Amino acid sequence: MIKNSINKPGVISLLQYDNGVNFEYGEGVEDTITDVRINRDSVFDIVSLSKQFTAFSILLLEQRRMLKLKDLLSYHIPEAAVFEADITIEHLIYHLWASMSF
């Protein structure tokens, strides 16, 4: 079931339970300029919102001694070794990498 309201910023909930039952609820539009209705294929740019949750999760991992903020990123993600600068997890959390030269 999708309920839509015209030209109102939207929200959508999609749930799938272990027993295979699905629930879908949508309301509003994904873009108030084009009036494109929100649907299960709508894309939401949540990167800025998710940064705080990612940082919090990393701090929990540090508290559990599963990693250290001073760890090099390449220790956990070997592909990051291609950068000339030694980037630490702390650099990413506090955006210190922005002042580094690559």
Q: Are residues 85 and 101 in contact, defined by beta-carbon separation less than 8 angstroms?
A: yes
Q: How far is CA 77 from the centre of its chain?
A: 18
Say what the pLDDT of residue 71 is.
96
Q: Give pLDDT tens digits for 69-100.
A: 999 999 999 998 888 788 999 988 887 655 55
Region 19-39: mean pLDDT is 87
Q: Does pTM top 0.85 for this prediction?
A: no
Q: How far is CA 10 from the centre of its chain?
A: 19
User: Which tokens sit at 22?
Assistant: 């699905």
| Residue 61 pLDDT grade (very low, low, confident, very high; cuts 50, 70, 90) | very high
